[in-house]
Amino acid sequence: MTSWYLRKTRRTDARLRLFCLPYAGGSAAIYRDWSDVLGPRIEVMAIELPGHGSRRSEEPFTATEPLVEALLSALLPDFDRPFAILGYSMGALLGYELARRLYARVGLQPRRLFACAHGAPDYPRSRSPAYELPDPQFIAELRRLNGTPHELLADAELMQLMLPLLRADFRLNETYQHRSLPQLSCPVSAYGGTADEDVSEAALTAWRSATRGAFSHRLFAGDHFFIHSATAPLLRQIEVDLGLA
């Protein structure tokens, strides 16, 4: 059976599991070194989505709902101890929907939901969908977002291999429709970048309506991909918000 996780270190005595979902085009490898920093109290469950990373031979999902259903079915046995969910950009939507379905189906909620680099699910989109743009314009959008390595953008052959996955992820994110489900009651933390042109502070604070529980938000130095430029302060804040600092 294909593993849904990239685990660097198993921490069977951890106080909490942190399930981490990647951004569009990203793999579980973006969370590879988090275990080293967060230490033994947190078991990092870096999720590998179909079509990504070690599962690149699989067909990627193009819609949120079937992917979240697959995640729920595959991951449910691992929610047997205290846990939190973190999603980055596209992953924030997936994490939110996963948390809502867990609550609706089996009454489980995370200790905290972390929504990074994405506006609230019901916040109006600021840009037109990009997933159907011709290749040159789509690649220009990737370049603007500054999350795809410049070496990859400059390699036409590699980009042709990557474009189907990137388009699938963008389609999943850009065609998402917010649906009414019971509101969460777990705490929610929304994180953004000070120079992110696509996710404003207003879009982040709109996450407050996603829960009846506590809410906080914080900006980190960087653009849409502050996960790479501000890793250390980001991980410190995660520990603080989890009460494990």
**Of the candidates 91, 98, 109, the residue with the CA atom closest to the CA atom of residue 191:** 91
| DSSP conformation class of 80 | S
Q: Is 200 a catalytic residue?
A: no
Q: Token pair 């905290």 is at which residue?
A: 112
C-alpha distances in angstroms, 122 versus 89, 176, 181, 222? 14, 10, 12, 24
Neighbouring C-beta atoms of residue 226, cutoff 10 Å? 23
- Written as one letter, the residue type at 66 is P
| DSSP conformation class of 23 | P
Instruction: Answer whether 239's CB lies under 8 Å from 111's CB.
Output: no
- With residue 101 as reference, give the H or E element that holds it: helix 90-106
Instruction: Answer whether 164's CB lies under 8 Å from 135's CB.
Output: no
- Residue 139 phi, psi dihedral angles, 5° rounding: -65, -35
Active-site choice (27, 35, 89, 189) = 89
Which residues are catalytically annotated? 89
